[in-house]
Amino acid sequence: MSMPRETLIEIRNLKKYFPVKGGVLKRTIGYVKAVDDVSFDIYKGETLGIVGESGSGKSTLGRLLIRLLDPTGGQIRFQDADISAISQRAMRKYRRDMQMVFQDPYSSLNPRMSVGELIAEPMLVQKTVAKSDRNERVIELLGKVGLPPEAASKYPHEFSGGQRQRIGIARALAIYPKFVIGDEPVSALDVSVQSQVLNLMDDLQDEFKLTYLFIAHDLSVVKHISDRVGVMYLGRLAELAHKDNLYEKPLHPYTKALLSAVPVADVRHKKEKIKLVGEMPSPSNPPSGCTFHTRCPQAHDRCKAERPDLKEVFTGHFVACHLYDPK
């Protein structure tokens, strides 16, 4: 019998609506529902992958969890503390435990600061490492991410994209966080470098006992690093399961379509590709009922009228689809 997993973060009915302004007076005429009623848990020590097309809301979700964006509604509990609506000043102490690695390793690093200054800055802001120990900590972190000590005196433009992302990871680890969000951290890198950075993140997770939320659009990358995978569509979770179950037995028609498009290395293995009709609808004007019904090959009348809830169909396997609801 497996031991129950300890929850690090609980997300309940989380929403983020961006107002749409129009007219001469710039009044609010509608909302972009970037994240719309999302609920799930993140367990200590795991890597939860979040995938979906551009515009699905996955990056907005990551920024909400670390409170770079304020939620419109819902609840975020981090280590049993409700951080949904606290002030940015009150949020400061929680940021010691929550860090982010961004997609573009160049624009996320200040070009006027040396690498040593960039890595030491979080220690200075959060006052987690004594001034006399900061340089030693910087050198230690550079070594952990595979860079030499002399890198501390150089500037971001002197490094390759993969090396800059290693610097970003070192900076994120500077204040001993418990939770790290990777917002497409390898999508801007060459394929040959992606696996190196993924393996590095894997090794650091074991060494520092980290919990990851890994956001990406590449399903093969997510499979490589994740324990569980959540699939987002138009601001909502369509499916959430252990990666083996999700990749071998996907339930939601959207997940099946995404997986059918993943290239297979073995040319002898032929896989039927599921073609989705049309583009993703606008999050400012989502379809009624199930938001995927306009593109779903298995949609029926109920899908157009009633929005499905995310329900546990098999142990640990959740799906929001009327095909699995006996009602």
Which amino acid type is present at position 128? Answer: T
* Secondary-structure breakdown of the chain: helix, strand, coil percentages, each rounded to the nearest 5: 35, 25, 40
127 contacts: CB under 8 Å, gap ≥ 6: none
What is the per-residue pLDDT for 187?
86
Kindly list the domain boundaries of the chain, sorted by start residue.
7-97+177-324
DSSP state at residue 227:
S
What is the pTM for the complete model shown? Answer: 0.90
Cα–Cα distance measured from residue 230 to residue 242, given in angstroms and rounded to the nearest whole number: 9
What is the per-residue pLDDT for 283?
87
pLDDT along the chain (327 residues), means of 10: 76 96 86 95 97 92 95 95 92 91 85 94 87 92 95 94 93 93 88 89 94 92 93 96 95 93 63 74 89 91 94 95 84
CATH architecture of 7-97+177-324: 3-Layer(aba) Sandwich (3.40)
Cα–Cα distance measured from residue 266 to residue 221, given in angstroms and rounded to the nearest whole number: 18
CB–CB of 123/170 below 8 Å? no
C-alpha torsion 323→34→180→13, nearest 10: -60
